[in-house]
Structure 1
Amino acid sequence: MSPSAALMAAAEGGIIGDGRTGANLALGVGLFGLAIGRLALGRAGNRISSRRARTGGRTAIAVGLAGTVLGVLHAATAGGGPGTGNGLVGAIVAIPLGLGAVLLGRRALTRRRAEPTAGQVVG
């Protein structure tokens, strides 16, 4: 098998697995981005972990974008329609998961620590 034929077969999922491999990868990356974004959002209000929250927010944005791009690429190249085993539905589901990770990461970056009210002690 020539190198170009091997690359084409890998892109179509023929060497690595069935057509769902790319969609499963996109789903996994999107879910991972959501988890990172949720952790970063939880740390964003904490003054001790604010640096980690910013790093987590940036990571969630990057991973979410990667999941979205993988989902779009797989949806664009999947042959057949939904239910044919080519992973089209998984790729379509991966797109909002990746976008959700981007939104959570962005919110973690823009979230400010709550200012203390008159009755709270700062210390």
Structure 2
Amino acid sequence: MSVHLLSEPIAAAYLTPGRLWSLVAALAGVIGVIVGGLALARHRSGNTRRGAVVALTAGLLGMAGGGFVVAAAEGGPGTGYGIVGGYIALVIGLLAAILGWLALSRSRRTA
């Protein structure tokens, strides 16, 4: 008698569509974190509004992409749906959005 599993593990070396989308979302979040950190570090010199908006937008895109991957996943970790990367993209996107929001609020105070 054989046991049929609903979701079989897929090797980590394979780049499935779910994993690709979670990587793209996480990359958007990482870009947002970098730009938001730079905008916060340079807030005394002025002209940080553009960086703050970019960081906030990239963070929201990272969270949206990660949320989409998590919502569309039909299996757990190791199934190739990218659910782990989706959760990571959600966290990184949230961090980027917070940094962008902080930089934007500081740029409004100094302007």
Task: Find the aligned partners of 2:26 and 2:74 in 1 and give their Cα distance.
Answer: 18
**How far did 1:95 drift?**
0.5
Task: Find the aligned partners of 1:84 and 1:55 in 2 and give their Cα distance.
Answer: 39
The residue number in structure 1 matching 2:52 is 57
Secondary structure of residue in 2 paired with 1:81: coil
CA deviation profile, 1:32-84 (whole Å, cap 9, x unmatched):
110110011111122xxx12x11100110011100000000011001211122
The residue number in structure 2 matching 1:116 is none
Q: Which runs of 5+ in 2 are unaligned?
A: 1-14
**Structure with the larger RCO, 1 or 2 (CA within 8 Å, 6+ apart):** 2
TM-score by length of 2: 0.78
Secondary structure of residue in 2 paired with 1:83: coil
The amino acid that maps onto 2:64 is V
Please point out which of 91, 101, 111 is paired with 2:96. Answer: 101
**How far did 1:86 drift?**
1.6
Aligned pair count reads 93
The residue number in structure 2 matching 1:79 is 74
Secondary structure of residue in 1 paired with 2:75: coil
TM-score by length of 1: 0.71
**Coordinate RMSD, CA, aligned:** 1.3
**How far did 1:110 drift?**
1.8
The amino acid that maps onto 1:45 is R
The amino acid that maps onto 2:44 is G
Percent identical among aligned pairs is: 41
Task: Find the aligned partners of 1:40 and 1:107 in 2 and give their Cα distance.
Answer: 9
Give the 5 Å matches for 1:17-96: 17-18=15-16, 19-46=18-45, 50-51=46-47, 53-96=48-91
Larger Rg: 1
The amino acid that maps onto 1:91 is G
